[in-house]
Amino acid sequence: MTHSVHVHYRDAGILSADPLQLVQMLYQAATESVAAARRHVRAANIQERSKAIMRAWEIINELRVSLDHSVGGEISRNLAALYAYMQRRLLEANAAQIELPLAEVEKLLSTLLEGWASAAAPARAAQNGTEEEHTAEYTPITCAY
């Protein structure tokens, strides 16, 4: 019962989210998957490690293919290169069964998440019709795709 309530709540949040929020949700889910993969590396849980790494890889791939290079220009191309790099590092971590590349990808994803949160704060303030300064706050959410 709890699982279905969580799924319904998550789905409602996704359907009502604006594009900035959706990107943040994807970064959050990828970060959580990488953190889980790190735990599974330390526990020598090969199957779960691989599943978590591939989940993160797929989320990053979704971010990569959703880039609009005609609008995003250089930023879009730089993000595409960064996403490809993170995907390579995830595959390296999975093949070698090591944590270091996962830690690097987790740090990159966290930095990107912070950047998107900062970018979203003024947009939310404008949407709410307020002129006051807002600081981006990182609120952990759990996404189970």
Res 117: pLDDT: 85
Residue 117 lies in a domain: yes
Res 108: pLDDT: 98
Res 60: pLDDT: 98
Residue 134 lies in a domain: no
CA distance 47 to 59: 19
- Is the pLDDT higher at 11 or at 73? 73
Residue 144 lies in a domain: no
Percent of the chain clearing pLDDT 70 (strictly above)? 72
Res 134: pLDDT: 46
Decide if 78 contacts 97 (C-beta within 8 A): no
| Global pTM value | 0.75
- The closest alpha carbon to 83, from 64, 99, 66, belongs to 64
Residue-wise pLDDT tens digits, 87-114: 999 999 999 999 999 999 999 999 999 9
Residue-wise pLDDT tens digits, 28-68: 999 999 999 999 999 999 999 999 999 999 999 999 999 99
Count of domains in the chain?
A: 1
Amino acid (one-letter) located at 73:
G
Residue 82 lies in a domain: yes
Residue 64 lies in a domain: yes
Structural domain harbouring 24? 19-124
Residue 129 lies in a domain: no
Res 103: pLDDT: 98
Residue 138 lies in a domain: no
- Both tokens of 111, joined, read 């930095």
Ranges of H-type helices in the chain:
2-16, 19-42, 46-65, 69-96, 100-128
- The closest alpha carbon to 107, from 136, 86, 134, belongs to 86
Decide if 29 contacts 59 (C-beta within 8 A): yes
- Both tokens of 36, joined, read 């889980």
Res 19: pLDDT: 80
Residue 10: pLDDT band with limits 50, 70, 90: very low
Residue 140 lies in a domain: no
Domain containing 99 — which CATH number? 1.20.120.340
